Amino acid sequence: MSTIALQAIPAKTKTAAYAASSAQSAMAPFSFARREPLPQDVQLEILYCGVCHSDLHTVRNEWKNTTYPAVPGHEIVGRVTAVGSEVKRFKVGDLAAVGCLVDSCRTCPNCQAGLEQYCDVAFIGTYNSPDKHLGGMTYGGYSKSIVVDEYFVLHVPDKGNLAGIAPLLCAGITTYSPLRHWKVGKGQKVGIVGLGGLGHMGVKLANAMGAHVVLFTTSPNKKEDAQRLGAHEVVVSKNQNEMDRHANSFDFILDTVSAQHDLNAYLALVKRDGTLTLVGGPEHPPAVEPFSLIFKRRRYAGSLIGGIPETQEMLDFCAERGITADVEMIPIQKINAAYERMLRSDVKYRFVIDMASL
Ligand code: NAP
Ligand code: ZN
Ligand code: ZN
């Protein structure tokens, strides 16, 4: 395994990491500079980092926007190792978390509304975004430490399953936010498409919100797990008879699929004025037939992660109900094999990197 050339940086600010150096290369050891904490910054030692399919899309440049080297990872739980002089909400030794965002303009209407992910100027992602402090791009959580403005750091409960909390920072909030926005609750029939990292959180959260939850999967062997996770019904989407039984019946369907698939088959299951919302971002976008929408006045929508206040709300919601992700822990040296398994839908249901391995 090759080591990517280090930047010329002072040794005290270096952090160990794993990076991709091109769309074709495997993830490999890397090292780079983090900034010293500024007055408003919190520095974390990263304990656990979840492995999101967006990491894989980015590493392989499937969204055609990756700058290399790329250090992914935006499901971060860690311990505070230093705070700047103006930090009020964290102290050294606290547990804390960082999700998909590390900055935004903070003044546009969306930032003012706590919806920083929709910042009109540009949100700064935890990885692969311009780093206004050091130049270059931001580097994510496949690393030993991170320095983030206090506003973008979340509190996590000071007990419990920290590895299972890490995936909440993306998979959790990305499903919680649309379920809340479309007011999913008691008396509603809600579909979740795909039982991966996002999908399994969608099932748990929609169930906790009181909806009747139907899970759609291409993997018949996930049926029992889906029921254990909170699905009231499971449909194998390749089986047309099973699909047809649900025609025109859903208030809301959340599609978490990471690859090309037929959206019109799901629109046909949405009832009048119901909504199909995409959170999955396949490399090749699926086509929508206008008549799938025109009949029954259906809505087709998308949703991006969640803002900082809602991410904290989601973490608190999960803590109160004991909801965490079902994780398979890996050492960082297994990340390339984990990506291959993720592509085969062979993960139950989120890989989490134990950063002690780095
Ligand atoms: P994941 O763990 O790999 O899960 C994706 C699931 O999709 C698989 O487990 C599989 O479920 C299903 N699937 C895979 N290939 C399929 C195919 N060819 N046809 C039908 N179903 C297929 O991925 P993830 O981390 O949950 O992420 C899912 C997607 O959401 C990715 O595209 C990711 O980039 C995106 N994402 C978006 C946001 C956002 O803010 N909108 C945030 C995070 C992630 P079954 O085996 O059950 O069929
Ligand atoms: Zn993610
Ligand atoms: Zn903004």
| CB 74 less than 6 A from any atom of ligand 1 | no
168-215 confidence digits (pLDDT tens): 999 999 999 999 999 999 999 999 999 999 999 999 999 999 999 999
CA torsion sign for 329, 336, 74, 97 is positive
For ligand 1, atom 23, the nearest C-alpha belongs to 53
For residue 10, whether the previous peptide bond is cis, meaning omega lies within 30 degrees of 0, is: no
Residues 6+ apart with CB under 8 A from 326: 164, 200, 229, 348, 349, 350
Residue nearest to atom 27 of ligand 1 (CA): 53
Question: Which atom of ligand 1 sits closest to the CA of residue 53?
Answer: 25
Q: What is the pLDDT of residues 122-169, one digit of tens each?
A: 999 999 999 999 999 999 999 999 999 999 999 998 777 999 999 999
Reported as a pLDDT band with limits 50, 70 and 90, residue 284 is confident
Question: What topology does CATH give the domain 12-170+324-357?
Answer: Quinone Oxidoreductase; Chain A, domain 1 (3.90.180)
Is it true that domain 171-302 has CATH number 3.40.50.720?
A: yes
pLDDT at 10: 40
Q: Is 99 in the pocket of ligand 1 (CB under 6 A)?
A: no
Inter-CA distances, 115 with 26, 147, 335, Å: 34, 22, 32
Domains 12-170+324-357 and 171-302 share a fold: no
Cβ 256 under 6 angstroms from ligand 1 = yes
Which CA distances in Å does 163 have to 65, 75, 232, 282?
29, 10, 27, 27
**Which pair of structure tokens corresponds to residue 307?**
């803002």
Q: Which residues surround ligand 2, an ion (CB under 5 A)?
A: 52, 54, 170
Residue-level pLDDT at 6: 38
Length of the chain: 358
Position 9 pLDDT exceeds 80: no
Choose among 78, 79, 62: nearest CA to 70. 62
Regarding the beta carbon of 56 and ligand 1, being less than 6 Å apart is answered no
Closest atom, ligand 1, to C-alpha of 215: 47
Complete DSSP assignment for 270-319: EEEEEEEEE----SSPPP--HHHHHGGG-EEEE--S--HHHHHHHHHHHH
The pLDDT, as a whole number, for residue 7 is: 39
Which sequence spans correspond to the domains of the chain?
12-170+324-357, 171-302
Q: How far is CA 176 from CA 201, 245, 267, in A?
A: 8, 27, 21
Instruction: State if residue 189 touches ligand 1 by the CB under 6 angstroms criterion.
Output: no
Give the Cα separation of 143 and 73 in Å (integer): 8
Q: Predicted confidence band at 13 (pLDDT cuts at 50, 70, 90)?
A: confident
Nearest to 197 by CA among 329, 349, 305, 345: 349
Is any atom of ligand 1 closer than 6 Å to the C-beta of 194?
Answer: yes
Pocket test for ligand 1, best of 256, 346, 347 (most atoms within 8 A of CB): 256
Mean pLDDT of the chain, nearest integer: 95
